[in-house]
Amino acid sequence: MNLVYSEGEFTLAQLRGVLMSRSLIPKYRHHTSGSAYVYHRSIDTSDHRLSLGKYNTPESLRRYRQFLKRLEIYQAGQEMPLIGSVPNILELVVAYIEYAKQHYKRIDSQGNQFTAQEYGEMRYALRIVLDLYGDDIASEFGPRCLKTVQRWMVKEKYARSHINHTTSRIKRFFRWAASEELIPSENYHKLLCVRGLQRGEQGVRETKKVRPACPESLAAVLKFLPPTVADMAQLQYFCGMRPGEVCIMRPMDIDTKGTVWWYCPESHKNLWRDQSLVKPVPRVAQKLLSPYLEKSAEEYLFDPRAAYAWSMTQRPERKTPVYPSEQRRVEREKRLRRRRIKRNEPGQHYTTDSYRRAISRGFDRAEASDVEVVRFSPNQLRHAIATYISANVSAQAAQRWAGHESLQTTGIYIEKQKSELEAIEHALHERWIEE
Number of other residues whose CB lies within 10 A of the CB of residue 73: 14
Q: What is the pLDDT of residue 17?
A: 45
Overall average pLDDT of the 4-13 stretch:
38
Q: What mean pLDDT is predicted for residues 297-301?
A: 86
User: Which residue would you say has higher pLDDT here, 330 or 151?
Assistant: 151
HSE (side-chain half, CA atoms, 13 Å) at 431: 6
For residue 11, the model assigns a pLDDT of 43
- For 113, phi then psi, to 5°, come to -90, 145
How much is the pLDDT for 73? 56
What is the tens place of the pLDDT at every residue in 196-236?
A: 999 888 889 988 877 888 888 899 999 899 889 999 999 99
Measured between alpha carbons, how far is 242 from 244 in angstroms, rounded to an integer?
6
Q: Residue 77 CB: number of other CB atoms within 10 A?
A: 8
315-323: average pLDDT: 75
Which pLDDT score is estimated for 3? Answer: 35
Percent of the chain clearing pLDDT 70 (strictly above): 76
pLDDT at 257: 87
Tell me if 117 sits within 8 A of 70, measured CB to CB. no
Bigger pLDDT: 428 vs 68: 68
Between 138-152, 167-181, 257-271, the lowest mean confidence (pLDDT) is in: 257-271
Quickly state the pLDDT bin for 24 (edges 50, 70, 90): low
Kindly list the distances between the CA atom of residue 375 and the CA atoms of 238, 369, 379, in Å, as whole numbers in the listed order: 19, 15, 12
Query: pLDDT: is 244 or 411 the higher one?
Result: 244
Q: Where does 85-207 sit in CATH, by number?
A: 1.10.150.130
Cβ-contact 402, 240 below 8 angstroms: yes
pLDDT at 231: 92
Three-state DSSP class for residue 435: coil
pLDDT cut 90: percent of the chain above it = 19
CB 362 within 8 A of CB 377: no
Mean pLDDT score of the chain: 79
Which pLDDT score, from 0 to 100, does residue 432 have?
60
Q: How far apart, in Å, are the Cα atoms of 218 and each of 72, 221, 362, 376, 416?
A: 58, 5, 10, 9, 20
Identify the CATH number of the domain defined by range 215-313+348-413: 1.10.443.10
Q: What is the dihedral of CA 134, 140, 146, 152, to 10 degrees?
A: -40
Confidence of residue 95 (pLDDT cuts 50, 70, 90): confident
pLDDT value at residue 109: 53
* Domains 85-207 and 215-313+348-413 alike in fold: no
Q: Residue 285 pLDDT more than 50?
A: yes
Give the pLDDT score at 133: 86
pLDDT at res. 163: 94
Could you tell me the pTM of the whole model? Answer: 0.60
Ramachandran sector of residue 84 (left: φ over 0; alpha: ψ -120 to 50; beta: rest): left
Cβ-based neighbours of 139, under 8 Å, separated by 6 or more: 86, 183, 184, 187
Q: Per-domain residue ranges for the chain?
A: 1-81, 85-207, 215-313+348-413
Residue 190 has pLDDT above 60, yes or no: yes
Distance of CA 320 to the CA centre of its chain: 44
> Assign residue 77 a region: left if phi > 0, alpha if psi is -120 to 50, beta otherwise?
left
Q: Is there a contact between 285 and 239 (Cβ–Cβ < 8 Å)?
A: yes
CA distances from 208 to 13, 48, 163, 411 (A): 60, 36, 15, 17
* Residue 113: strand pairing partners: 107
Residue 244 CA to residue 364 CA, distance in Å, equals: 23
Q: Over 50: is that where the pLDDT of 284 sits? A: yes
SS3 208: coil
Per-residue confidence (pLDDT) for residue 10, from 0 to 100: 37
Model pLDDT for residues 381-429, shown as the tens digit of each residue? 888 888 888 878 777 777 777 776 666 566 655 555 555 555 655 665 5
